[in-house]
Amino acid sequence: MNRSTQRLSARRVAALLVAGALGFGGALSVARAAADKSDTTFVTKAAASGMLEVQASQVAITRASNPDVRAFAQRMVKDHTTVGDELKTLAGKKGITVPDSLPADERAKVDKLSALEGARFDKAYADEVGVKAHKEAVSLFDKASKDAKDPDIKAFFAHNLPALREHLQMAEQLKPAVK
């Protein structure tokens, strides 16, 4: 093998190494994007869940006939507004856009509740927002606290999970009062 052939072979090897490295780096970027997508999904679902609880609870403050339901609703507005604000701040730092308004299916739940009055409202709110929505939120936060890729996002969900479990327990204790 002469010198020009050796240089050509060395250039080919170098080119292949660079191409391989770029391809590998691209594969890592795709993997990171997929991980970011799952974290984005956790964050956007949590934001929608929190907005549902705040908006439905704002309705409950004015429409509930049971004082325990009103007190629970006031606590939900306070707690979920605080967590929602923290989530928006975290999302902004991570470049994740959270929705400004409820998705249509969640908006329909609030509208359905708004059409009810008295004891029927109290029971529906306790069932749908108190228990069902909190069970879903606990499940989401539990999964995200284990599976989120970003350590800050994972920590956010882990930190807020105990409060959601407390809300669920409060809602379950509220149910007998609104039968």
Contact 55, 109 (CB under 8 A): no
Q: Which fold has domain 36-178?
A: Ferritin (1.20.1260)
Contact 63, 30 (CB under 8 A): no
Domain residue ranges in the chain: 36-178
Residue-averaged pLDDT of the chain? 86
pLDDT in tens, the chain (179 residues): 555 555 545 555 444 444 454 444 444 333 334 337 899 999 999 999 999 999 999 999 999 999 999 999 999 999 999 999 999 999 999 999 999 999 999 999 999 999 999 999 999 999 999 999 999 999 999 999 999 999 999 999 999 999 999 999 999 999 898 98
